[in-house]
Structure 1
Amino acid sequence: MSDIKTIDGVDSHPDWSQVPAHAHHVFLCTGPRCTQRGALQLWKTLRRHLLEHQRIETPGGVLLTRTHCQFPCNLGPIVTVYPQRCWYGVHNKDDVQRLVVGHLVGGEVVEDLLIKAHP
C-alpha cells in the first residue's frame, strides 16, 4: 500500500511535510543571464558530482535548489552555499568539481571561486 494520498487534488506523502536532512543548502542560479552562461549544464554536473559523493539530501549532505536571479549576474553562474553564506562564481565543470570536493565534501571554502562582498 502506498503512503501517497491526494489532498486538495495534489499528491501528498508524509515525508513531504518535513525538511530533508542536510548539512548544506546549495542554490544554483538558473536566471536568464546565468542560463546563457551555461548554468543548466552546470546544474547537471553539480548534481552528478554530489551523487557520486553520496551528498544529495542525506544527513551531512546537500539539499540542492535551483533559483532565479541571485545577482551579481556578471560573475555567474552563481552558486550560494548555506549556512556558510558563501557565494561562488562557477564557470565550467572543473569549477563545479572543485566546489563539490573542496567545500561540500571537504568543508573548506574554495577561495579562488569565492565572490567577495564589497564593504
Structure 2
Amino acid sequence: MDVKPAASQPDWSLPPPHRRHVFLCTGPRCVRRGALSLWKVLRRRLVEHDLVETPGGILLTRNGCQFPCNRGPLLTVYPDRCWYGVQDPQQVLRVVDEHLLHGRPVAALRLPLPEDET
C-alpha cells in the first residue's frame, strides 16, 4: 500500500505552540450528551482570550472516545493530567476560567484517576 505524501505547508511540520493540550471527547456517547455544542463554547472562550495555538496557550483537539463514557462529555488537560466531566456550558467556562486561565484545577468537576484510588 502506497501512502501519498501530505500536502506540504510549513505550519504543518511541527505542532502549534502551546502550553497545555486540551482534548474534548466527540465520541458517539459524548456527542449524544452535547459535546459538539460544548466544543463551540470551549473554542469561543479560548479565542476570546487569544489562547488557541499560541505560546503559553492551548492546543485544542477533538477526539474519539476517552472513557469513562458514563461521566462524559470528557475534557482532559495535559500535561496537568486533569480529567473533567462537563455537562453544560457553565462547567466548560469554569474549567477555562479557573484552570486554563488561572492554573487552578476545578476539583468539583474532576474525575478520579485510577492511581488516586490506591
For the pair 1:19 / 2:15, whether they are aligned, the reply is yes
Instruction: For residue 117 of structure 1, report the CA deviation from its aligned partner.
Output: 2.2
Partner residue, 1:3:
none
Deviations 1:63-110 (A, max 9, x none): 000010000101100001000110000010000100001111111101
Secondary structure at the aligned position of 2:112 is classed as: coil
Instruction: Find the aligned partners of 1:98 and 1:53 in 2 and give their Cα distance.
Output: 14
Aligned partners of 1:63, 1:10: CA distance in 2, in Å?
21
TM-score (norm 1): 0.90
Specify every segment of 5 or more residues in structure 1 that has no aligned partner in the other structure, as ranges.
1-7
Moved over 2 A (4+): 8-11
Partner of 1:78: 74
d(CA) in 1 for partners of 2:111, 2:51: 24
Question: What is the TM-score of this pair, normalised by structure 2?
Answer: 0.91
Identity of aligned residues (%): 58
CA distance, structure 1, for counterparts of residue 93 and residue 11 of structure 2: 30
The one-letter amino acid of 2:98's match is G
Matched length: 112
- 3-state SS in 1 of match to 2:77: strand
Q: What SS does structure 2 have at the residue aligned with 1:42?
A: helix
Alpha-carbon distance between aligned partners in 1 of 2:13 and 2:72, rounded to the nearest angstrom: 33
Q: Which has the higher strand share?
A: 1
Structure 2 counterpart of 1:115, from 99, 111, 118: 111
**Matching residue's letter, 1:55:** L
Q: SS at 1:80's partner residue?
A: strand
Gaps in structure 2 of 5+ consecutive residues: none
The aligned residue for residue 95 of structure 1 is: 91
Whole-Å separation in 2 of the counterparts to 1:33 and 1:92: 15
Offset, 1:22: 0.3
2:27 paired with 1:31: yes
Shift of 1:10: 4.2
* Residue 52 of structure 2 is aligned to residue 56 of structure 1: yes
Q: CA RMSD in A?
A: 1.1
